[in-house]
Amino acid sequence: MALDELGRISLEEFHRSEKSSIVVVLDNIRSQHNIGSIFRTSDAFRIEKIYLCGITATALGSTESVAWEYSEHTTDAIRALKKAGYIIASIEQVEGSKNLVDFIPDPSKKYALVFGNEIKGVEQEIIDESDMCLEIPQFGTKHSFNVSVTAGIVLYDMFNKMKK
């Protein structure tokens, strides 16, 4: 099968298509490789928008399909999203976090998923502003995934749960 036979939509069709009710908030993600991967994953799951916050990079060429916006302070983006009716879910290992496997999102609600810095994770101030924290179960010796891998797992999971 040739690549042009895969049935992919054009950029124009993507822009006109219905998007999921999920936005992504990137809290001080420094690596443009991680940001590019998250944009690509967001394209695959028709994420509504990405908020690049704080110290960040952009990955050239990856920003053509998914809408995005820059906010100097992550708290400003979070507060605006809350005001717009989004449920804020930080993806972080904290006391009281919910296991992603067990979390069933309400398809009638809008979600803002916050992914944190490669070293420090989601800032405590953002965790405090969040409606919930979600955690990916892990069974090896490491205690975290790369942020772009985390985004891929969470977006795939949320997209599939919300479309059912």
| pLDDT tens-place string over residues 87-122 | 999 999 999 999 999 999 999 999 999 999 999 999
| pLDDT tens-place string over residues 31-75 | 999 999 999 999 999 999 999 999 887 655 667 889 999 999 999
Rounded distance, CA 154 to CA 156, Å? 5
Rounded distance, CA 90 to CA 113, Å? 6
Crossing angle of the two packed helices 32-44 and 147-163, in degrees rounded to 10 = 10
Q: Flag whether the pTM goes above 0.85.
A: yes
DSSP-based three-state secondary structure for 76: helix
CATH number of 16-163: 3.40.1280.10
Largest CA distance in the chain: 49
- Among 61, 82, 69, 80, smallest CA distance to 26 is for 69
Phi, psi (rounded to 5 degrees) for 71:
-130, 125
Q: Where are the domains of the chain?
A: 16-163
